[in-house]
Structure 1
Amino acid sequence: MTLGEPPVIVVPATPTSNGGLHVGHLAGPYLAADVYARYQRARGRFVLHTTCTDDSQSYVATRAAVLGVSPAELARDATARIGRAFTALGATVPGLPPIDETYRRTVLDHVSAQHRAGAFELRTVRFPYARRAGVCLYDAFVAGTCPTCLAQSSGGACEACGHPNNFDELLDPYYPLDPADEIEYREVEILVLPLERLRAQLTDYYARHTPRWRPNARDLITELMAGPLPDVPVTVPGDWGLPAPFAETPGQRLYPWIEAMPAVIYSTWWSAAQLGRPAERVDRLWLSDQEPTIVYFHGYDNVFHWGMLDLAMLLSHPRPYATPTVTVTNEFYELERSKFSTSRDHLVSATDLLDRVPRDLARFYLTLTAPEFQRTNFTEADLRHVVGTRLVRPWNRLAAALADLAVPDGTVLPVSTAGQDRARTVADRLGRHYRDDRFSPAGVADTIANQLERLARTGLDTENAADVLAQVQTLLAYAAPILIDVTDTLAGAGVPLRIDDRPTQKVTMFRLPTLPAASDQRPATAAGRVS
């Protein structure tokens, strides 16, 4: 079967189904991934923008315990809420794939093949154990002090410094669901994935790819590679998650982070089928001979898992899988100068915000203030101020000037050489922020605002109308991955919003719809007013 052109596989981090998406999630990987996917589609690429819920995570079980519901019930409810948030955002994912028998078979077949190939080793390790609860502690089931940076941390990896901490490595451990429960240590025989065995392959990959990563993520990988690489659990004692299929570890569960890589492969297959591009094998599009461009979006706190463990899951598999081409990380987005957190109920719901604020305006602000290189802070008051001054006002001034222009709609106007040069400059200034080696949606949003302000100040008349319209049309094409609703309206009215290298030699007269205020949730129309 011929699958056609190589796909661009865009993978934002799999959302944990312990609650709905909050604004910090949107400003982190999910909006950035959608902007990237839309831009690549505008360039004519076949894009699979895909993710799936991470139902086996221990955070589902701990959150369910706090809420007094079963983990399965919480996962079902959270998945529906996550899906509604993606829809409200306008994300181009074709849906959230079901965590069904095909999903489970894909995951178990993947790890079983690794096991047969000798990728895993049996180890006896020490786990902290909550005596009263009778629970072996890992990831969300344990908290304590990070041995690397001394910050408060959960198990698995430290949010502050990004370093992993498995087994008995956390200092001062306690059981978050009952901090008074006495902790003891028990030896358990489990399977592990020894990352040190993959050092040469990891070194080669990072030498080729991390120079294009954002600095904090690149520095963390350098720190991790400077020391001994850890053994990562493949199985854990527990009662939530997929049963491990290995004879050596009866009754144990598959470690949830081991699921993530085959889960994404399954999600890609499912999404391709929704878009009319089915494959016989679930992993077909991830094979190296398909030459996919694979792009990851995730937070700094997941650099170890997405940037190292998932890579190791591909490198240690007997099938020849492609590896990620581009990795885009983000820092934490804060609410009132503290990290958004579902488990602590410190959040603004994504759907609630998008109910109150027109989608294009919310997308613009979250893109502009995204924590690409350092933590940034969200307040709704700042959203309304920034969007009003940097987007709505200059846009509507420009719309008013075009509305007053005495040129009939549909008139074809020749663009001067100077106008073509300026349109190319607009394209260059915006396009540079979409490049894989410097991808910055915040840079795109800032440039949109700067160009709007400049064009709104331009004295528009019949003499320069064509040159100004050529620049506006170019600006709209590059703004379309962010301002999805107003540009969809314009495209539907016949305004060509293409991204290519051809000069804009002529334009057809068009008007801009006005944008609503941030407090006015009404859709824009192509008639130059809101309906």
Structure 2
Amino acid sequence: MGALLVVAPGPTANGDLHLGHLAGPFLSADVCARYARATGRDTLFGTGVHFTQNYIVTTARRLGERPEELRLRAAEQVEATLAAAGIVPDGFVRFDERYLKTVRTFFERLHGEGHLRLREVRFPYLPDTGEYLTDAYVRGGCPVCLAEGCAGLCENCGHWIASGELLDPRSTRHPELAVELREKEVLVLPLEEHRAALASYFARLAPTMRPRLAQLVEELMARRLPDYPITLPIDWGIPAPFAETPGQVLYSDTETVAWSLHTIALAAESRGEVPGDEERHWALEAGPEIAYFFGSDASFAFALAGTAMLLALGGLALPAHFVTNEFYELDSDKFSTSRGHVVTGRQLTAEVPRDLARYYLAATGPDFQRTNFTRAAMDRVCGQRLVEPWNRVAAKAEAHLDRGPLPVSARSRHAAALLAERFAAALNPRRFSLSAAAFTLTEQLGRLDRWEVTDADAGDFWHELDLFLRCAAPLLVDLAAEGLPDAAIPAEHTATTVQPRPLPRLATRVRGGGR
């Protein structure tokens, strides 16, 4: 089996990461990668920031700064917040010449092999300014679900909405100006040409797709698949390297595959590999298992359009898993930076130990439906289900420190195998579920807390406690780092003795921080 490639697509570089971001793809991807490595799997984890979406332009206008400055500052904020939450990618995409080359090379190959078509496409247009309006530059109603929003990926239904299909389109910068529809020649990827291959691919993935992605695929395949623009007649983005589309840029949402190839190449180089072919780890002959982690609203760009590009090129492995998530709310309202209704990862981990933050975000994570964060609930849940029981278990375990190696029974080895199976069921990428992992952690810790330890079964207690901490380590990173000699999760459970050792305790507040 080849390497496990874990990809968490980067956020738009227009601000810091809030808890909604962390509770969704980023914590899940980090936990998945940590667990895979602990079981001995060769694993590369890549993320980063997306620098070319025109939401950067609209945010910069609102803040009164230059887009170039905003995206650089945002990248630094994102990287710092990931580190504060204990999320450690191997590769982190930044906006530099190498990234630009990777993207241009990818699309030149698509173009050179004849997969792109020159088509007349309708766009909202402002006659007063001469601007074509795409994505963040234009708002209107979604023609699929009627929700209000910008063009591009609809946050509500997940469909990709061409700018020219918005209902009642209007400029986000000049809402007072009249908008007309005007056609412009752009290069597109005709997704309909890949219908049969896409249908076969998603049929294979159907057993593990989460409901919203499955619904989106079903709805898309029930109609003609769209011509997906590769170039746009706007001035923000990577200049398109094609003679047919002078002055146009590459559509930022089509950079998905090139971005992913690049982040995995960076991940490989971080562990000492020599820079080289960006596609090496994705090659079919390398046999990788590719797992994507992203919000459901990004499904079209990565699962549909991205897969179609891979199918068109051939020779590269297709993603094996799309682990999607829904929205995470703050005090029963959507996170909103513009309204100041937001808590960043750095803000939270400055007040509470990050193990508690990671545990609670996992326990309330929006795997299948919208969920909610409140600080009061976090304090209560972490205290009752994690901090208090763990500290009791640690104290109970340390009562046997002076007894030397303790015997482990066959019964305990069988119990350990069952315990490991339950964590594996939640943490393997095929049916990955962060909330299921947190539930398993809670239940197993509760079992250890209820154990009336005697001299006769102290070895069994310590044996199962050690394995519990190893399986919980992908979530409780600091507790495990202090309490384990190594992070390995054994494939077989054959121990006949166990050596007790001192164990750390959990606190509810960061020293010198918070309330």
Task: Provide the aligned length of Structure 1 versus Structure 2.
Answer: 513
- Corresponding residue for residue 493 of structure 2: 502
- Corresponding residue for residue 180 of structure 1: 176
Counterparts of residues 259-278 of structure 1 (less than 5 Å):
259-278=255-274
- Corresponding residue for residue 72 of structure 2: 76
* Distance (whole Å) between structure 2 residues aligned to residue 345 and residue 113 of structure 1: 44
Amino acid at match of 1:396: N
| Residue 464 of structure 2 corresponds to residue 471 of structure 1 | yes
Amino acid at match of 2:445: L
SS of residue in 1 equivalent to 2:369: coil
- Corresponding residue for residue 520 of structure 1: 510
Amino acid at match of 2:447: R
| Residue 22 of structure 2 corresponds to residue 26 of structure 1 | yes
Structure 1, unaligned stretches of length 5 or more?
Answer: 524-531
- Corresponding residue for residue 136 of structure 1: 132
Confirm or deny: 8 A CA contact 2:349 2:357 kept in the other structure. yes
| Residue 443 of structure 2 corresponds to residue 485 of structure 1 | no
- Corresponding residue for residue 528 of structure 1: none
| Residue 233 of structure 2 corresponds to residue 240 of structure 1 | no
SS of residue in 2 equivalent to 1:50: strand
Confirm or deny: 8 A CA contact 2:254 2:301 kept in the other structure. no
Counterparts of residues 106-505 of structure 1 (less than 5 Å):
106-317=102-313, 319-342=314-337, 345-403=340-398, 405-408=399-402, 411-491=404-484, 494=485, 497-505=488-496
Q: Check 1:133–1:469 CA distance in 2 against 1; reply closer, same or farther (3 A cut).
A: farther
* Distance (whole Å) between structure 1 residues aligned to residue 494 and residue 177 of structure 2: 70
- Corresponding residue for residue 40 of structure 1: 36
Residue by residue over 1:258-297, the C-alpha shift from the partner in whole angstroms, topping out at 9 and shown as x without a partner, is 1221121112112211111235212211111111111100
Q: Check 1:371–1:188 CA distance in 2 against 1; reply closer, same or farther (3 A cut).
A: same
Counterparts of residues 52-91 of structure 1 (less than 5 Å):
52-91=48-87
SS of residue in 2 equivalent to 1:124: strand
Amino acid at match of 2:501: F
**Residue 512 of structure 1: CA displacement?**
2.4
SS of residue in 2 equivalent to 1:398: helix
**Residue 13 of structure 1: CA displacement?**
1.6
* Distance (whole Å) between structure 2 residues aligned to residue 394 and residue 489 of structure 1: 18
**Residue 135 of structure 1: CA displacement?**
2.6
Q: Check 1:521–1:220 CA distance in 2 against 1; reply closer, same or farther (3 A cut).
A: farther
Amino acid at match of 2:388: R
* Distance (whole Å) between structure 1 residues aligned to residue 143 and residue 58 of structure 2: 23
Query: % of aligned pairs identical?
Result: 42
- Corresponding residue for residue 527 of structure 1: none
Amino acid at match of 1:23: L
Confirm or deny: 8 A CA contact 2:400 2:500 kept in the other structure. no
**Residue 140 of structure 1: CA displacement?**
1.0
Residue by residue over 1:503-531, the C-alpha shift from the partner in whole angstroms, topping out at 9 and shown as x without a partner, is 332211123211001x33489xxxxxxxx
Q: Check 1:280–1:407 CA distance in 2 against 1; reply closer, same or farther (3 A cut).
A: closer
* Distance (whole Å) between structure 2 residues aligned to residue 460 and residue 147 of structure 1: 63
Confirm or deny: 8 A CA contact 1:355 1:521 kept in the other structure. no
Q: Which moved more, 1:22-31 or 1:52-61?
A: 52-61
**Residue 344 of structure 1: CA displacement?**
5.1
Residue by residue over 1:269-327, the C-alpha shift from the partner in whole angstroms, topping out at 9 and shown as x without a partner, is 1221111123521221111111111110001101111110111121112x511110111
Amino acid at match of 1:92: V
**Residue 472 of structure 1: CA displacement?**
0.7
Amino acid at match of 1:386: V
Q: Check 1:52–1:230 CA distance in 2 against 1; reply closer, same or farther (3 A cut).
A: same
* Distance (whole Å) between structure 2 residues aligned to residue 32 and residue 224 of structure 1: 27
Cα root mean square deviation, aligned? 1.7
Amino acid at match of 2:195: R
Confirm or deny: 8 A CA contact 1:133 1:181 kept in the other structure. no
* Distance (whole Å) between structure 2 residues aligned to residue 63 and residue 406 of structure 1: 58
SS of residue in 2 equivalent to 1:109: helix
* Distance (whole Å) between structure 2 residues aligned to residue 7 and residue 344 of structure 1: 42
1:511 to 496, 499, 502: 502
Confirm or deny: 8 A CA contact 1:358 1:522 kept in the other structure. no
SS of residue in 1 equivalent to 2:93: coil
* Distance (whole Å) between structure 1 residues aligned to residue 53 and residue 13 of structure 2: 8
* Distance (whole Å) between structure 2 residues aligned to residue 254 and residue 342 of structure 1: 28
* Distance (whole Å) between structure 2 residues aligned to residue 238 and residue 425 of structure 1: 57
* Distance (whole Å) between structure 2 residues aligned to residue 257 and residue 213 of structure 1: 22
**Residue 166 of structure 1: CA displacement?**
0.5
* Distance (whole Å) between structure 2 residues aligned to residue 211 and residue 133 of structure 1: 50
Confirm or deny: 8 A CA contact 2:413 2:493 kept in the other structure. no
* Distance (whole Å) between structure 2 residues aligned to residue 353 and residue 324 of structure 1: 33
Confirm or deny: 8 A CA contact 2:400 2:458 kept in the other structure. no
Confirm or deny: 8 A CA contact 2:137 2:173 kept in the other structure. yes
SS of residue in 2 equivalent to 1:346: coil
Amino acid at match of 2:160: P
* Distance (whole Å) between structure 2 residues aligned to residue 33 and residue 449 of structure 1: 20
Amino acid at match of 1:299: G
Amino acid at match of 1:109: T
SS of residue in 2 equivalent to 1:188: strand
Residue by residue over 1:196-227, the C-alpha shift from the partner in whole angstroms, topping out at 9 and shown as x without a partner, is 00001101111111321112211211111111
Confirm or deny: 8 A CA contact 2:92 2:266 kept in the other structure. no
User: TM-score, normalized by length of structure 2?
Assistant: 0.96
- Corresponding residue for residue 99 of structure 1: 95
Amino acid at match of 1:506: T
* Distance (whole Å) between structure 2 residues aligned to residue 482 and residue 15 of structure 1: 22
Q: Check 1:522–1:503 CA distance in 2 against 1; reply closer, same or farther (3 A cut).
A: farther
SS of residue in 1 equivalent to 2:391: helix
Amino acid at match of 1:22: H
Confirm or deny: 8 A CA contact 1:38 1:92 kept in the other structure. no
Q: Check 1:345–1:435 CA distance in 2 against 1; reply closer, same or farther (3 A cut).
A: same
**Residue 357 of structure 1: CA displacement?**
1.3
